Amino acid sequence: MVASEKDFENAVHQVKLLKEDPGNDAKLKLYALYKQATEGPCNVPKPRVFDFLGRAKWDAWTALGSLPKETARQNYVDFVSSLRPSLTSSSGEGPAAHRSLPESEDVVVTSKDSITVITLNRPAKKNAITYQMYQDITLALKAASKDNSTITVFTGNGNYYSSGNDLSNFSNRSGSLQQMYAESALTLRNFVDSFIDFPKPLVALVNGPAVGIAVTVLGLFDAVYASDRATFHTPFSSLGITPEGCSSYTFPKIMGPAKAAEMLIFGKKITAREACAQGLVTEVFPHNTFQKEAWARLTAYAKNPPKAMRIGKQLLRSFGKETLHAVNAEECRVLQERWLSEECVNAIQTFFSKKGKL
């Protein structure tokens, strides 16, 4: 089988998650195969003799001669998969996927009464989701899909559920802008894919306001319980960006095109009760009894036979899956372009100059 573009992109992404240094030989091999797969045979002049690293890289790339790009891509994917024990694997295979709890302070995974709970734990920043957290959540979902829990719950610590994407995600990374946005789009795509493919019942406990991507992926959950202090806000247009999390497909289906447009295009913030009336939220509880009532509900549900619940979910969800993956890919492609736009750059600058809040 020939590796697809997506297999290759995933392999490139996995290399960035390497927990251990694979050693110089492996790094040179990865470099050479990557260059060959993306640019073809070596096309740059030989570096000077004292540029040891440049020379070693050039030698490794040149040694691949006229190996076709497709073969180099396949070899790269195969080689990365042979390195898997030292990866933090986002594929769900390998030792990392079987860890019960990913080691992260900002995304905490706990287990209670056959329920795996994934908690966004950055209350001082309103649980804004950093680049690392997207990867941690993806891993946590992969691990939860294989653990022995019956239900998985998502919630936030503090007075916010989540303020969505951390707006500094693009200001503290290295590399060219194009490369950073391409990596971000791939990370986002993998993140959303892990919700689309999650095989067990997935429940959100929305303990407070939810913004941006924290709202959009709710359309991929099986139940959404909200405190009456929660609000739901997707201010994409004012940020110069466009909907993600498959919301351009799920929201019109859930609430009808007019209500979806009000939220996703005009950025209308809605209350928990409005979200419930529109079908995005399953049930709203008074804030002071929210945890108690929602947990009583979940504990009872978790006693259901797990296989029946899984198969039930499969029947409800599997038919639209291909469409969801296509929507996710397209949303990420469009966003990648938007991030480069003047509208988006200005909106983020305004936020950090403290002039602009939602």
Ligand X SMILES: CCCC/C=C/CC(=O)SCCNC(=O)CCNC(=O)[C@H](O)C(C)(C)COP(=O)(O)OP(=O)(O)OC[C@H]1O[C@@H](n2cnc3c(N)ncnc32)[C@H](O)[C@@H]1OP(=O)(O)O
The Cα–Cα gap between 276 and 224 comes to: 9
CB of 230 to ligand X, least distance (A): 13
Return the H-helix or E-strand segment holding 28: helix 24-39
Parallel, antiparallel, or unpaired for β 231-233 and 210-211?
parallel
How many residues touch ligand X under the rule CB under 6 A: the total is 22
Q: Tokens for 178?
A: 């194009």
Asked if 231 interacts with ligand X (CB under 6 A), we say no
Site string for ligand X, 194-213 (x = CB under 6 A): -----------------xxx
CB of 163 to ligand X, least distance (A): 3
The answer to whether residues 294 and 228 touch, using CB atoms and an 8 Å cutoff, is: no
Closer residue to ligand X, CB minimum distance, 16 or 69? 16
Of 161-190, binders to ligand X (CB under 6 A) are 163-169, 184, 187-188
Closer residue to ligand X, CB minimum distance, 115 or 264? 264
Q: Which residues pair with 284 in a beta bridge?
A: 226
Q: Tokens for 173?
A: 């990374």
Closer residue to ligand X, CB minimum distance, 116 or 184? 184
Site string for ligand X, 122-161 (x = CB under 6 A): ---xx-x---------------------------------
Secondary structure (3-state) at 119: strand
Of 101-120, binders to ligand X (CB under 6 A) are none
The Cα–Cα gap between 48 and 42 comes to: 16
Which of residues 151, 239, 272, 281 is near ligand X by CB under 6 A?
A: 239
CB of 281 to ligand X, least distance (A): 18
- Would you say the C-alpha torsion 203, 330, 4, 186 has a positive or negative sign? negative
